[in-house]
Amino acid sequence: MANTALTLMLEWFLNPDHLPFIAGIHTGAYNKAGLDIEMIQPTEHYDGFAELQAGNIDLHVNEPIHLFEHYFDDLKALGCFFVTDGGVLMKQSSMDKLHQNQPIRITTPAANPITNKIGFEILSRYAKQNGFTLECDNVSFVETDFQHLHNLQQGDGQGKEHKEFDGAWLCFYNFEGIEANHVGLDYTFIDQHLSPYPNFSALELMTTHSIWQEKSVALQEFVKVTTDMGQLCINDPEQARNIYYGYTGDTPSELMDDIINDTLKRLITPIKPDADRWSALRDMLTKLDIAALSDAHYAKLWQ
């Protein structure tokens, strides 16, 4: 009997956050379970939602915030498999500027009204918690790329146009925090531990109700094997590192070893739908007028 083919579109480029899927492919566990998994890297961050809605793919992973922002009626969440600490990584040398409400520049891979609003909200809540006020006009989000640490160290522009960055937004601690430690950057990571906001630096696995009806047996098997592979990686970091390097062909390095080791502590098993996990995030996005899901739509996501 032929294996069932499933297509999985990632949220960005392949990285250690995706180790449960990498392990399932590299060890042959999906194949043994009767599944052929094609893992696709997108061109843009939100491509998977459009592809899922069009029925061109079977599965997608993305941050939970986008479940709300890019919600459509057929969307179905299968569960969270990874949660890290996320937020704004500030140079320690710029923290006085932040506290004194002086103009600061933040490098980010995505500067748009929504991500800028959320980034400012995190800093604003941090300010309120620490007894000072931050004005929106004093925080500039500059769209660059994902090379957060390079941008923080090098700034942008040449000659008279050269400007330094004070911080980086859309950071995951298991990447940027670990890398900052490696390069010896003195920093403050303003995450959910320092600013009172619901953490959303995580990855949620999703499909549609239509695809679930058509391929529920295969999708249930996929979730089961992915859970098993996540647990395998958690239990055996050395094997997880070997799987990652073996699949990607990357040259092992001390930095990537540390990124993988930190990531493994953040994998979640078992993978299962959990409506309660993101209810506080839902409330914040409603308050910020970014996305407002009705109770019925929210409940349908997790059915």
pLDDT tens, residue by residue, 85-121: 999 999 999 999 999 999 999 999 888 999 999 999 9
Distance CA 60, CA 51 (A): 9
What integer pLDDT is reported at residue 245 of this predicted model?
Answer: 98
Domains observed in the chain? 4-83+201-301 (3.40.190.10), 86-190 (3.40.190.10)
Distance CA 277, CA 125 (A): 21
pLDDT tens, residue by residue, 17-33: 999 999 999 999 999 99
Average pLDDT value for the chain: 95
Q: Before 198, cis peptide (omega within 30)?
A: no
Distance CA 223, CA 67 (A): 19
Q: Would you say residue 158 has pLDDT above 80?
A: no
Of all residues in the chain, the percent with pLDDT exceeding 70 is 100
- Chain centre to alpha carbon of residue 127: 24
CA-closest candidate to residue 106, choices 168, 163, 44, 180: 168
Strand order in the sheet with 202-208: 35-40, 4-9, 59-62, 202-208, 75-83
Q: Would you say residue 159 has pLDDT above 80?
A: no
pLDDT tens, residue by residue, 200-233: 999 999 999 999 999 999 999 999 999 999 999 9
What integer pLDDT is reported at residue 76 of this predicted model?
Answer: 98
What integer pLDDT is reported at residue 46 of this predicted model?
Answer: 84
pLDDT tens, residue by residue, 30-54: 999 999 999 999 988 889 999 999 9
Residues 6 or more apart from 79 whose CB is under 8 A from it? 204, 205, 223, 268, 270, 271, 272, 273, 274
What integer pLDDT is reported at residue 98 of this predicted model?
Answer: 98
Distance CA 190, CA 253 (A): 27
What integer pLDDT is reported at residue 74 of this predicted model?
Answer: 97
What integer pLDDT is reported at residue 33 of this predicted model?
Answer: 98
pLDDT tens, residue by residue, 260-278: 999 999 999 999 999 999 9
Distance CA 248, CA 255 (A): 16
Distance CA 265, CA 19 (A): 12
> What does the block give as tokens for 92?
């320690």
- Residue 97 is which amino acid? K
- Chain centre to alpha carbon of residue 118: 14
Burial of 95 (0-12, 13-18, 19+ CB in 10 A): middle
How do 86-91 and 167-172 pair as beta strands? antiparallel
Look at residue 188 and give its three-state secondary structure: strand
What integer pLDDT is reported at residue 2 of this predicted model?
Answer: 87
The model carries a pTM of: 0.94
What integer pLDDT is reported at residue 122 of this predicted model?
Answer: 97
